[in-house]
Structure 1
Amino acid sequence: MKTNTRVLAMVLGMGMASMAQAAPVNYDIDTGGMHASINFKIQHLGYSWLTGRFEKFSGQYVYDAEDIKQSQIQVKIDTNSVNSNHAERDKHLRSADFLNVKKYPEAMFESTSISGSNENMTVKGQFTLNGVTKPLVIKAHKVGEGKDPWGGYRSGFEGATELKLADFNITKDLGPASATVLLELHIEGIKK
């Protein structure tokens, strides 16, 4: 009887441990600029690519390795932090012609569903830019996860999407090759 009780306790303990591992995990996005970035690129006259990034953003996500559908993400971007490596151009990008940062200092993405697998995720959500909210789909995958050297736990993902400037009331005519912006997202989270 004693042995049966021990075996039952071990089985229950192992079951509880596996349930704990399967639970969703909350992460803060590492926004120090060292391990996460939000980059963009847009064609210049159809001849080359102009690239840049947003230096300041924040967010968090819930990641469930066992059930991707339970995962979610929220990111806020400081649009004033745009950096295309050219001060005068950045000033223009901040103006009402483009990001209109005085009126709309923040862009935001909030997921509505996440599906697929760790290798091939589809993240659907609402993206707000320049005062306009539209649906946006991000194709993403998990890069990895594990303990860090400082006693924390991290996970990382990358993804990409594209958006049409006109959909967000950015109507400055840059030519047909420059109507679409590509966004590249590199996200690393630190477990809360």
Structure 2
Amino acid sequence: MKQFNITQISIMAAFVFMLLIHPVIAQSKYILTSSPTLTIQGGSTLHDWDMTSNEAKGEGMFVVEGNQLKSIQNLTVSMKAETLKSGTRGLDNNAYKALDTKKHPEIKFSLKELTGSGTNYTAKGDFTIAGVTKSASFPVKVSQSGNSFTFEGKHETKLTAFSIDPPTALLGTVKTADDITISFKSTFQKQ
């Protein structure tokens, strides 16, 4: 039978102790819950406008240490562009035409990196709108309730950044502004 000296026993005891007190790091799949709020806001020569959707799908692998969000991997969110509604049929139809929803039916976001801690984070990722993908970086507020995390933020961009010609109406007398704001509030729940 092999004899262990006091140094070997001390090293093994320290290793076991470290395993017992080290916080548990878990990577788990999280799914976007129903009824997220995704809004695109803009303006025109006539009035400001917004279009909102409460339909999207999304998932990602969340790394949680103890009760603290540490990172997210492979997070994607997608929605059908025609679920965006303004309450005005003409505005909706002009928007769908500008987005070319027949050819590019989905709007997508893929998270590449989430940095920060507590409730303040910065998200970096790619938006794909009207078939054009552009990188984005924007602040995100994160709150936790049980096994779910809620993300709230906004990103300011331009229609032309996605090769979208700002729509016009009434023979060009009403022009849509190029600047838009994409805002969201969405909750991901552990699966």
Shorter-normalised TM range = 0.7 to 0.9
Determine whether 1:162 maps to 2:163.
no
Q: Separation in 1 of the partners of 2:56 and 2:124?
A: 19
The structure that is helix-richer by fraction is: 1
DSSP 3-state at the match of 1:171: coil
Moved more, 167-176 or 73-82: 167-176
- Deviation of 1:99 (Å): 1.1
Identity of aligned residues (%): 22
Contact 1:112 1:126 in 2 (8 A): yes
Determine whether 1:64 maps to 2:51.
no
Contact 1:68 1:116 in 2 (8 A): no
What's 2:93 paired with? 91
Q: What RMSD in Å do the two structures reach over aligned CA positions?
A: 2.8
- Deviation of 1:39 (Å): 1.1
Q: TM-score, normalised by structure 1?
A: 0.76
What's 2:28 paired with? 25
- Deviation of 1:84 (Å): 0.7
Q: TM-score, normalised by structure 2?
A: 0.77
Q: For 1:1-192, what aligned pairs fall within 5 Å after superposition?
A: 11=17, 14-15=20-21, 18-19=23-24, 22-30=25-33, 32-33=34-35, 36-45=36-45, 48-66=47-65, 70-72=71-73, 73-95=75-97, 98-146=98-146, 153-172=147-166, 178-192=177-191
Q: Separation in 2 of the partners of 1:50 and 1:118?
A: 33
The structure that is strand-richer by fraction is: 2
Contact 1:24 1:63 in 2 (8 A): yes
Superposed CA deviations along residues 98-122 of structure 1, whole A, max 9, x for unmatched, are 2110000011111111112232211
Q: Separation in 2 of the partners of 1:163 and 1:141?
A: 19
Contact 1:27 1:190 in 2 (8 A): yes
- Deviation of 1:54 (Å): 2.2
Q: Separation in 1 of the partners of 2:144 and 2:54?
A: 23
Aligned amino acid, residue 15 of structure 1: I
Provide the aligned length of Structure 1 versus Structure 2.
172
